[in-house]
Amino acid sequence: MNPKKKPIARRQFLRSSVAVATGVSLGIPLMANEDRSPAPGRKKRGIKLGFDNFSIRAFGWKAPRLIDYAAELGLDTILLSDLGVYESQDDAYLAEIRARARDLGIEVQVGTGSICPSSKRYDSKLGSAEDHLKLTLRIAKSLGSDVARCYLGGRDDRRSEGGIEARIRDTVRVCKNVRSFALDAGVKIAIENHAGDLQSHELAALIEEAGPDYVGSTTDSGNATWALEDPVRNLEVLGPYTVCSGIRDSHVWMTDRGATVQWAALGDGVVNLEAYFDTFEKLCPKAPVQIETISGFNVEFPYLERDFWSAYPKARASDLASFVALARRGKPQPTFKPREGEEREKAVQRYQKEDVERSVKYCKEVLGLGIRQS
């Protein structure tokens, strides 16, 4: 070593490595066309608008009240994303729910959780993954849903034995085992990129391996940022497979170890939503936009740490480059705290409801989403 030269600090070296690998400088300027605030009153896009009941999970509402709320907001659809919202799984009860939604002009999409039996997120109390998925498909058919939204797991599965590729194989096997059941029901298995489990190219490969004739994507813009992807690029990959969605904005900002993400109500974050929905309108206009607001907490992704990448064996430099550019736009955000003297449970309910309703307003008035006028 030349004694006149100082050794490069490990973090500085890693920053340089990321810059070389992605082809960008971490001092990259904002890209062109970064105006995220289209003028109010823009033309309608003709895309259905709804919300995922997980957005207001703190209320604990069941299916009838959730459907009523969707109608109150002047929405077109709702994603009932967990089986716990049904007070019964009997055909008679489900027929009542379907009739209630029909009378209010609300289309229902049905969902559940993990269908990967080896995922840390799978609930073994549900029995076999195949039986769990068949139940979800049956409920979907009963409610007139053309999809059964589900997912593999979460980002922890990337570090499980065999890595994410083993979990993908297990999920594909479950799907293939219920293929005939799904086709007979006329319901598409809609796998979500969930909680950082799958990058867009991995989910696309899963769908192709299982069979795109009966498997599609529940494309989640927020979870894209947890997979170190710009949601716009994520949608460019998953759009052709998209039959359902989970939509929210994200704050993303640089840190000494990589970047931090805080999900946000639509219009509050740094995602180029105009570009996102231009892409949505082009690639998957028949899929509804289901608002799924989950906000108020921060998660750091230390991609400048060497060990981080062992969980991403097929990560693509171009995707990371776009994510880094996204992070360059953001600023650190505080986490949610109740107002002084406010009971926490009530505060969380208020916060979740405000996020949903603000997002609905933004989607309708700024982004031109939704079919119903009121």
- At 21 the pLDDT is 39
Q: Is 29 domain-assigned?
A: no
On the question of pLDDT at 105 being above 50, the answer is yes
pLDDT digits (tens, 9 = 90+) for 198-255: 999 999 999 999 999 999 999 999 999 999 999 999 999 999 999 999 999 999 999 9
- At 43 the pLDDT is 75
Q: Is 86 domain-assigned?
A: yes
pLDDT digits (tens, 9 = 90+) for 121-147: 999 999 999 999 999 999 999 999 999
**What is the mean pLDDT of the segment spanning 41-53?**
89
On the question of pLDDT at 69 being above 90, the answer is yes
On the question of pLDDT at 64 being above 60, the answer is yes
Asked whether 53 and 79 are in contact (CB, 8 A), the reply is yes
Residue written as tokens 């993954």? 129
Q: Is 8 domain-assigned?
A: no
- At 28 the pLDDT is 33
Query: How far is residue 183 CA from its own chain's centroid?
Result: 25
Confidence class for position 40, pLDDT limits 50, 70, 90 = low
On the question of pLDDT at 24 being above 90, the answer is no
On the question of pLDDT at 38 being above 70, the answer is no
On the question of pLDDT at 362 being above 50, the answer is yes
pLDDT digits (tens, 9 = 90+) for 283-295: 999 999 999 999 9
Per cent of the chain over pLDDT 90 is: 87
- Environment class of residue 104 by beta-carbon count within 10 Å: exposed (0-12), middle (13-18) or buried (19+)? middle
For helices 231-238 and 317-327, what crossing angle results, to 10°?
A: 140
**Would the pTM count as exceeding 0.85?**
yes
- Residues in a beta bridge with 104: none
Nearest alpha carbon to residue 297 among 247, 262, 252, 255: 262
Q: Is 361 domain-assigned?
A: no
CATH number of 200's domain: 3.20.20.150
Asked whether 23 and 346 are in contact (CB, 8 A), the reply is no
Per cent of the chain over pLDDT 70 is: 88
Q: Is 350 domain-assigned?
A: no
On the question of pLDDT at 7 being above 70, the answer is no
- At 356 the pLDDT is 98
Nearest alpha carbon to residue 299 among 196, 209, 204, 182: 196
> What is the average pLDDT score of the chain?
91
pLDDT digits (tens, 9 = 90+) for 315-351: 999 999 999 999 999 999 999 999 999 999 999 999 9
Q: Is 65 domain-assigned?
A: yes
- At 374 the pLDDT is 55
**What is the mean pLDDT of the segment spanning 310-317?**
94
User: How many independent structural domains does the chain possess?
Assistant: 1
* Tokens matching residue 242: 């998209």
- At 373 the pLDDT is 66
Q: Is 152 domain-assigned?
A: yes
Task: State which residues form the domain around 284.
Answer: 46-250+271-294
Confidence class for position 11, pLDDT limits 50, 70, 90 = very low
Rounded distance, CA 194 to CA 120, Å?
Answer: 13
pLDDT digits (tens, 9 = 90+) for 178-193: 999 999 999 999 999 9
Asked whether 174 and 209 are in contact (CB, 8 A), the reply is no
Q: Is 307 domain-assigned?
A: no
Phi-psi category of residue 60: left, alpha or beta, with phi > 0 → left and psi -120 to 50 → alpha: left
Alpha helix (H) residue ranges in the chain: 10-22, 63-72, 91-104, 129-142, 163-177, 179-185, 200-210, 221-226, 231-238, 273-283, 317-327, 344-365
Rounded distance, CA 224 to CA 149, Å?
Answer: 17
